[in-house]
Amino acid sequence: MKWEIAKQFDFCYGHRVWSQTLNVEFSMDSCLACRHLHGHQGRLIVYLESDKLENGMVTDFHHLNWFKVFLDKTLDHKFIIDINDPLFATLLPDFADKQNLIDFEDGFQRPNLDVLRDKPEHLIEMYEGYIIVDFVPTSENISTWLMRIVAEKMKKINVDVSRIEFFETPKSRSIVYNPS
């Protein structure tokens, strides 16, 4: 037998899919709306699986509380930008040289706000809202990134992540399956 449990998370975020192209025959227009700066009310469902139960459970749902904290502190009301986005220097002019970025072990960077001591507060607040990644922030790439983070952490308690569903909108989602 195999058991699977799931927990849902919601967060607001912004992004820009600078690499977007469309086939007009299928899209019915040529509007590249995802190239614009825009935001979403994202929904993420994490699926955990096991072929044996510990204390009658795959694991306790509380064992995903750390992930809720991660999403709230890292992604909620933040703008995810690819460091290779052609607008990077325009949107983050004080970091156009891609220096003074702080690396985080979960595969993202943030501007080092300490170098902005003499800048106005509203500019510092703007930079606080950026999460810098090294991929185009499509729903597929975001869900893959989050899969790596969750799967790595859950390994520590011998729990497998089977898949992640990421709803960019209520009607559009991507699913990434863990190959392990």
**In this structure, what CATH number is given to the domain that contains residue 16?**
3.30.479.10
Q: pLDDT value at position 25? A: 80
b/e string for 6-15 if b means 16 or more Cβ within 10 A? bbebebebbb
Is residue 139 predicted with pLDDT exceeding 80?
A: yes
Q: pLDDT value at position 14? A: 98
Is residue 30 predicted with pLDDT exceeding 80?
A: no
Nearest of 82, 180, 90 to residue 132 by alpha carbon: 82
pTM beyond 0.85? yes
Nearest of 161, 121, 124 to residue 4 by alpha carbon: 161
Rounded CA separation 146/148 (Å): 5
Q: What is the mean pLDDT of residues 138-167?
A: 97
Rounded CA separation 152/135 (Å): 19
Residue 73: which domain range?
3-177
Lowest mean pLDDT among 20-34, 105-119, 132-146: 20-34
Report pLDDT digits (tens) over 97-107. 999 999 999 99
What is the rounded radius of gyration, in angstroms, for the C-alpha atoms of the chain?
18
Is residue 82 predicted with pLDDT exceeding 80?
A: yes
Q: What is the mean pLDDT of residues 75-91?
A: 98
Domain count, the chain: 1
Confidence band, pLDDT 50/70/90 cuts, at residue 33:
confident
Q: What is the mean pLDDT of the chain?
A: 95
Rounded CA separation 52/32 (Å): 47
Strands (E), the chain: 3-15, 38-50, 78-82, 101-104, 108-111, 130-133, 160-169, 172-177
Is residue 31 predicted with pLDDT exceeding 80?
A: no
The first and second tokens of residue 67, run together, are 């992930």
Q: pLDDT value at position 142? A: 98
Rounded CA separation 40/179 (Å): 28
